[in-house]
Copies of this chain bind each other. A is one copy, B any other.
Amino acid sequence: MSAEMTVRSKPRPRKRINDPDGMRKKVLDVAEVAFQARGYHASSLGDLMAAAGVSGGALHHHFPTKKALALAVIEERVAAAVEQTWIAPVLAAASVREGVRAVFEAVAAELEQQGFVRGCPLNNLAHELSLADPDFRIALAGIFARWRQAISDKMRADQQAGRDEGTDPERFAALAVAAYSGAMSMAKTAQDASVLRDCLAGLERSALSSSQGGLAARRRRRVLLRPRTV
């Protein structure tokens, strides 16, 4: 009713500026968020177009099919997330075990601060898409493989420095990745990040050797969910 205000959100609506890289990035950004939050099949291209503010022609120009878009999200975004969250911190740590511990605790702290558990980006898509299409499966399996490889490589480096000589590098890497993936799965379902700390403690086999376990700070029942619609 209070019409005709000259609020001009776009300063120059006259001319168009082609920015293919920026356009591609915009689409990839909203697709990454949507695929993680709602999943691949539950995210429509119409939703993505509206959220990114791009036209159907533009989206189709950069990603001819929805599958191509998802493949780009997997190869460019999910792989990068694993790299940043896991591989780089582990490689930068003094030892694998310290690196694994640091990642578990950093992720747990971040989730508790955020108050919401979105799950592991890789596992989220892996479960929905691994059996849906061989190309999806191959791409996702490659990320898992690199993740494990980085951990086992670092463990071998540790062993050449005289540490952890009794541990099988591949087995340790498999268990670390599996424990994290499974813990994130439970944390997402329960909306409670404390299971990450439980798994970390078990992973460090404090249960047997370490004496710091027992009555140590059991901070369970730390439910994070607030009743907001996702």
Mark A residues whose CB is within 8 Å of B: 37-39, 41-42, 118-119, 123-124, 126-128, 130-132, 134, 137, 140-141, 144-145, 166-168, 170-172, 174-175, 177-183, 185-186, 188-191, 195, 198-199, 201-203, 205, 207-209, 213-214, 218, 220, 227, 230
Please tell me if the beta carbons of B132 and A188 are within 8 angstroms of each other in the complex.
no
What's the number of copies of this chain in the assembled complex? 2
Classify the interface of chain A: helix, strand, loop or mixed: helix
Q: Nearest chain-B residue to A181 (Cβ)?
A: B182
Given contact pairs A39-B128, A127-B188, A134-B227, enumerate 15 new A-B contacts (beta carbons under 8 Å). A38-B131, A39-B132, A41-B41, A119-B131, A123-B182, A141-B189, A144-B189, A166-B207, A168-B214, A174-B198, A175-B203, A177-B182, A178-B180, A181-B185, A208-B209
Sorted nearest first, the 9 A-B pairs with minimum C-beta distance are A178-B182, A175-B202, A181-B182, A182-B182, A41-B41, A174-B198, A127-B127, A167-B207, A178-B183
From A41, A128, A141, A178, name the one whose CB has the most chain B CB atoms within 10 angstroms.
A178
Q: Nearest chain-B residue to A118 (Cβ)?
A: B131
Distance in angstroms between the alpha carbons of A145 and B186 in the assembled complex: 9
Q: A38-B132, A41-B42, A179-B175 are in contact. Are A198 and B170 (CB under 8 A)?
A: yes
Distance in angstroms between the alpha carbons of A144 and B184 in the assembled complex: 12
Chain B residues, Cβ within 8 Å of A174: 183, 186, 195, 198-199, 202
Distance in angstroms between the alpha carbons of A2 and B224 in the assembled complex: 67
